[in-house]
A and B are shown apart, each in its own frame.
Chain A
């Protein structure tokens, strides 16, 4: 019904959403939740870019005299057992955690799209082989697989990214395969062939972009998972090493102090982490609407 009325009132289309920027503004205005999600994303991005320059204390500087202070006006989130400022550490860690999740998701997005497109478009034995490989990856408990990858390759940030990317590839490949498969014989794909496009071009320029809206939802959910995954790896001691500030390590270290009453060590990084994941989960619908031209009415 919404589609019908949309086509009945095409005059509004000429006004709004003609430019990409105008369309983004329209999507944001249309849905307050999306607006909130993008505002929070902007906040986290701000922390990632400018955080290290803005924080009141050096995140690595210890100060024995002020160890384990509860939150106060000098130290908003309190201090840890070495006297480091928890607030500064939480803010500075944003850059590392976002880098890991964005890089991992970008990697799995690209690899998953390529594999899924090929499997969905050409089908046949290629499809069967790729699908079985992806099934194999999915058959592992994914977090355990990521642990194995990091343990085998070594404890570095790059390896956390690779591990997180590998466990996310099947989701993208599956999604793209399904979206490409239903469109490979669509009229517009055939028309593109008549216009002189090779199979590869039809796939890349005409079919694949139509898979973007559902992909965007997947991307935003995955960004959240990827942060959790990276934090989880650090939590169990794989991945980022202390004293580098990272949310997972901070929660892990802080957990030791909860029993003795110093709750702020684990709670604030945990809350920050939760907020970041929440932001990405909210982002999905908005991102999908932005890449979907059908919303431009």
Chain B
């Protein structure tokens, strides 16, 4: 149905030309789902934009043929392309909120595309739009028709985007990271919906994702891209069990999965035995009846509803939940960036919740509880070099100065595997993985006893995630730190944590040793989370 031959795309930039896609060829058959998998910068999104001819300014298709159902998309006029987009080939984007017009009712946005492609008249548009919303399983579609995007959840917005994309019954759907940023149960619901709809209608689909596990679950065939080239094509199962290309092997290895240890995520030559960490029986942190209430428009909102738990010295505790479960609020209260409404936080027996967060920086325990933030880019001051970011806690709390400070900073850089020359760089001159290392170095600079990790790998590519997780395991053994690992990704929590708490709507619904909770979940919500996590086929490379 769609055939791409030797496609090359180049971007003109101030620093000369960048070849984003370098001779890519693939076909998509009728009713087939093709996955394009690659890490950031691999050119997977650019490929799809080139097919739709919606490249950014400066981007140009250099060579190659793109033929869809006998039409040469590269030669088609812009007017023809406008007819094709939406009616023949549709696209759903990564951020559903950004893809919807924030000040128009969602129903009207569905109508727009119907009217544009003459699938409906002004009189019939509303009924057809509601039907399109019902097709993506939106309950009470007639009421949702009137809603604005901000009134809907992320998952609901993505359904609307899918409704718009499918409204004119296109033959091919391009989904560019459709579930990134959505909760894991929402991801499953959205992907199942897209899968069912395309199957029902016999549509072709191109699923672009960085998640090999997700692709293997929903795709018939997978194309692996790296640096603008296709390195391997194959069926999900063969790709996992017998990856041919070294890069595919690396990706397969790095994807967290059942039965793999944390060292298995690394390429075989980098695997060293996993160091053991010692868990003491004495509790380091005791949280008792912790409550956080926010004032809301319609009365107070209870974000955290009286939770209690312990972290033993040296232990790694996983805190799992979806957005809105209160896990971030909990971690911010423990790290003393927020004040609890009530309850106690005992650190080494001392109630640290008694000191307000605004004055906590002078508290003796400040140095013992540090945090690695979710978004490494956001957590580094754009005006500070890597060295000054790492030096900040040392200079402020330990009053370290001069040569001693410089020596300690470079020692920390070695510890987290950050090359010394990078220390003088600004954050925008570092890659995602390097920024994550700077964030970790800063957090461990004072040798804290408790380190809170707030989804430290959520924004990283899987191969970088594998490196960072292993770094955390090494550091834990070396420094005897306790971890509170906040995540929505159960596969990752399983690798790193001794015990796990599952939070839902401000309450702890499940808890226990990680293996017990994961293998024999007692609470239905835990079971739902585990089932929603994409599970790649078992590979022989263990």
Contact = CB atoms under 8 A, between A and B. Distances in A.
Q: Is the pairing of A and B real?
A: yes
A188 B393 contact: no
Contact of B58 (A1, A18, A186): A1
A187 B381 CA distance: 8
Given A5-B13, A187-B373, A13 B378 contact: no
Interface stretch (B278-286, B422-430, B493-501): B422-430
A74 interface: no
Interface string B379-398: 11111100000001100110
Interface string B420-450: 0100111011110000000100110000000
B371 interface: yes
B374 interface: yes
A296 interface: yes
Given A187-B373, A187-B379, A188-B380, A197 B396 contact: yes
A188 B396 contact: no
B269 interface: no
Given A1-B56, A13-B429, A187-B378, A194 B424 contact: no
B18 interface: yes
Contacts of A4: 41
A1 B383 contact: no
- If over half of A's interface residues share one DSSP class (helix, strand or loop), that class is named, otherwise mixed; here it is helix
Nearest to B374: A187
Given A7-B429, A13-B425, 4 more contacts: A193-B361, A194-B366, A194-B371, A196-B396
A260 interface: no
A186 B15 contact: no
Nearest to A12: B15
Contacts of B15: 5-6, 9
Contacts of A8: 18, 41
A191 interface: yes
B383 A196 contact: no
A188 B97 CA distance: 25
Given A18-B424, A188-B378, A2 B392 contact: no
Contacts of A296: 426, 429
A199 B358 contact: yes
Contact of A192 (B375, B378, B381, B382): B381
A294 B337 CA distance: 29
B335 interface: yes
B393 A196 contact: yes
B179 to A, nearest CB: 23
A14 to B, nearest CB: 7
Contact of A186 (B361, B370, B378, B383): B378
A68 B66 CA distance: 77
Interface string B340-376: 0000000000000000001001100011001101110
A22 interface: no
Interface in B395-411: 396-397
A190 interface: yes
A137 B429 CA distance: 42
A7 B431 contact: yes
Contact of B337 (A3, A13, A194): A194
B420 to A, nearest CB: 12
Contacts of A196: 361-362, 366-367, 393, 396-397
A9 B430 CA distance: 10
A72 interface: no
B375 A194 contact: no
B14 interface: yes
A1 B11 contact: yes
Given A10-B425, A13-B429, A187-B374, A195 B397 contact: yes
A13 B424 CA distance: 10
Interface of B: 11, 13-15, 18, 41, 56, 58, 335, 337, 358, 361-362, 366-367, 370-371, 373-375, 378-384, 392-393, 396-397, 421, 424-426, 428-431, 439, 442-443
Nearest to B381: A188
Nearest to A190: B337
Contacts of B396: 195-197
B226 to A, nearest CB: 14
Interface in A1-40: 1-10, 13-14, 18
Contact of B382 (A2, A7, A194, A210): A210
A188 B41 CA distance: 25
Most buried by A among B383, B425, B431: B383
Max chain A Cβ within 10 angstroms of own Cβ: one of B335, B375, B381, B396: B381
19 contacts: A2-B13, A3-B428, A6-B15, A14-B421, A14-B424, A18-B424, A186-B379, A188-B378, A190-B337, A191-B371, A191-B379, A192-B392, A193-B361, A194-B393, A194-B443, A195-B392, A195-B393, A206-B381, A293-B382
Chain A interface extent, by class: 20 to 34
Nearest to A14: B421
Contacts of B393: 194-196
A46 to B, nearest CB: 32
Contacts of A187: 373-375, 378-380
A198 interface: yes
Contact of A210 (B361, B381, B397, B426): B381
A56 interface: no
Contacts of A62: none
A197 B421 contact: no
A297 interface: yes
Given A1-B58, A2-B14, A209-B383, A194 B428 contact: no
Nearest to A191: B379
B519 to A, nearest CB: 35
Nearest to A9: B15
B429 A194 contact: no
Contact of A188 (B58, B361, B371, B379): B379
Interface in A209-235: 209-210
Contacts of A293: 382-383, 426, 428
A254 to B, nearest CB: 47
Nearest to B377: A187
A13 B384 CA distance: 15
Contact of A190 (B41, B379, B392, B426): B379
A1 B371 CA distance: 32
B429 A10 contact: yes
Given A5-B13, A6-B428, A294-B382, A194 B370 contact: yes
A49 B61 CA distance: 57
A196 B397 CA distance: 6
Most A Cβ at <10 Å: residue of B362, B392, B439: B392
